[in-house]
């Protein structure tokens, strides 16, 4: 016993003609959106790590300064160098230095903290309604306890 042929000669299935192209038209935007979201996640994670490292570098540089004004200057310089060295371009960079630890008398524990705010450029990604993402990280470093301040 043989199975009947599915298609007889001369008969064509015309109902599905062009359906693959239609499927691609429907699926392609979704696939592109998923790829753009993955690119956004990667960009944000890398930028966050770079800003965190820059904040730590800036806090360390500020903790080595002898007075608050020098600490602010050293922190801003170290943050800019660290971000540039890591290849991160922020839309604008804000470096806030907390130098209140310099007012603590020598012999007591004191710290200096640096907070870096870096808006990340994401407008080139094809995600509707997406503005910018901001990485904000804080680094803290101890000031030498027995150094004159």
Q: Give start and end residues of each alpha helix (H) in the chain.
A: 19-63, 68-85
Tens digits of residue pLDDT in 91-120: 999 999 999 999 998 889 999 999 999 999
**pLDDT digit string (tens) for 34-76?**
998 999 999 999 999 999 999 999 999 999 999 999 999 999 9
Work out the angle at residue 61's Cα, subtended by the Cα atoms of residues 57 and 64, and round it to the nearest 5 degrees: 145
> Is residue 141 scored above 80 in pLDDT?
yes
């Amino acid at each position: 016993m043989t199975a009947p042929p599915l298609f007889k000669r001369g008969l064509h299935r015309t109902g599905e003609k062009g359906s693959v192209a239609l499927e691609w038209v429907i699926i392609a935007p979704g696939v592109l959106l998923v790829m753009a979201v993955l690119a956004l996640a990667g960009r944000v994670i890398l930028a966050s790590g770079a800003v965190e490292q820059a904040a730590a570098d800036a806090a360390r540089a500020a903790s080595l300064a002898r007075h608050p004004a020098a600490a602010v200057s050293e922190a801003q310089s170290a943050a800019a160098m660290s971000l540039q060295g890591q290849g991160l371009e922020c839309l604008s960079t804000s470096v806030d230095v907390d130098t209140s630890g310099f007012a603590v008398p020598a012999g007591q524990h004191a710290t200096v903290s640096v907070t870096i705010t870096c808006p990340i450029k994401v407008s080139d990604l094809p995600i509707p309604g997406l503005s910018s993402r901001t990485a904000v990280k804080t680094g803290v470093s101890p000031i030498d306890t027995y150094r004159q301040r």
